[in-house]
Amino acid sequence: MNNIAPLNTDSLQTWLNYWSHVHVTGIDLGLERVIPVAEALGVTKPNAKVFTVAGTNGKGSTTTTLAAILNAQGFNVGLYQSPHIYRFNERVKLAGQEVSDQTLIDAFVLVDAARRQCDLSLSFFEATTLAAFVIFKQMNCDVWVLEVGLGGRLDVVNVIDPDVAVITNIGLDHTDWLGDTIEKIAFEKAGIIRPNIPVVFGGLQQLPLAIKTKAQQCQAKLHVVNQDYFYDYAADGQTWNFATSGLTLKLPLGQLALENISTAVAAILLSDLTVTQHAIAQGILQARLQGRFEVETIHHKTQDKTVIFDAGHNPHGVEFLLKQLRKFMEYNKQYTEVVTVFSMLTDKDIETVVKLLKNTVLKWKIAPLTVPRAASMDQLRSALQDETVEQFENVQAAFLSALEETKNNQLILVCGSFHTLEAVWEYLEECQ
């Protein structure tokens, strides 16, 4: 398995295909194979400040906001996120820009040489994460902002010791890998905590005992939302307030969810980096992330249609989506009905997601995804048995139908999976 012939190295897609087949499984939690390769690459102790962010939902928005604020302050920031939505390069950003194919290819060459030297195989996620670390080291990044892929304790990102650990929230997702209770999952997420560092918990839920216990064991100072820091909307509808016992900041509203923006601000202020209020404000305004309650106006024929893209794919994510949707419709009273373009993966909690959405959604337009873990139409129809449902051959056809039929008082919600969003974006790109 390890002695595969050298690749044609001039194509990023060739490398991505290669990493998809080098290891026996796509997901293989554990650091035993990764650590020797990371050490051979010299990436385990970066000469940089490291923010590591774990959690069930909100990691993408939190890491995006962290990086945007630090970029606005003038730091040389490396941002690593997963999964990507449209292009693999989205996973690795320098100064807010996706890295080039060639930069990734060069890093993959080094990662492959190191794993061969160690006579070890790497999963796709392990290899691509190590490649990001190689790039950040080569580019002398001052700050690394790292999003955990799955769990925390055994995720490849955890080969790096963070200077600040952030846990956004805990929900029931990836239960086959992480455990079937909130406490079991919290134990895995808490694995990113290190001795004597600040830890932010931004979940709007009771603090799980596993996180509290791990912080105590590490003598890490735990900062919990609505206990050690607070945020609320200002009366003007344009700003919000962030407060701790010794500080209050008035900040602009951004495009991303305030729950996650406030978590990022708390983490910045707990680091020993010098960041001005102006940079925090600029970063918040500049932070954008595809697929996180992303509101777009799509011009179709002679009309403009409002489309909301949200990648929420588990009950916690969908609860959060609904909270934002209610707020949006409160401010935009012309919208009284929601039509959804919807599909999910088979291993997600489809029944609960549908139950949460059904009081808000007037009509469902469903279609199969073109990925191995796609839910079947029977599975979706079973969950939607009492709903108004139209079935289509593919997601693009479902979306076109929504564009054709929605009235002025209706908005279109594309949700259920990153893959659902990706199919619509591909369609929109083709139409340009």
Q: If you write DSSP's letter for every residue of 167-208 in order, what string do you get?
A: E----S-SHHHH-SSHHHHHHHHGGG--TT--EEE--SSPPP
Q: Indicate if the pLDDT at residue 26 is higher than 50.
A: no
pLDDT digits (tens, 9 = 90+) for 241-299: 999 999 999 999 988 889 999 999 999 999 999 999 999 999 999 998 888 888 889 98
Tell me the backbone φ, ψ of residue 151, rounded to 5 degrees: 75, -115
Region(s) of the chain under CATH 3.90.190.20: 294-431
- pLDDT score at 263: 98
CA separation for the pair 63, 369 (Å, rounded) = 28
Residue 28, pLDDT score: 53
pTM for this one? 0.81
- pLDDT band at 27, cuts 50/70/90? low
List of residues 6+ apart from 332 with CB closer than 8 A: 306
Radius of gyration of the chain (CA): 22
> What pLDDT was estimated at residue 110?
97
Residues of the chain with CATH 3.40.1190.10: 12-286
Q: Is the peptide bond before 46 cis (omega within 30 degrees of 0)?
A: no
**Topology classification of domain 12-286:** UDP-N-acetylmuramoyl-L-alanine:D-glutamate ligase (3.40.1190)
Only one residue has tokens 């939190």, namely 62
Asked if 48 and 159 count as a contact pair (C-beta separation under 8 A), the reply is no
pLDDT tens for residues 289-316? 888 888 889 988 888 999 999 988 888 8
- Cα separation, 407 vs 273, whole angstroms: 50
Mean per-residue pLDDT for 377-403? 95
CATH architecture of 294-431: Alpha-Beta Complex (3.90)
Q: Order of strands, edge to edge, in the sheet holding 239-244?
A: 230-233, 239-244, 247-252
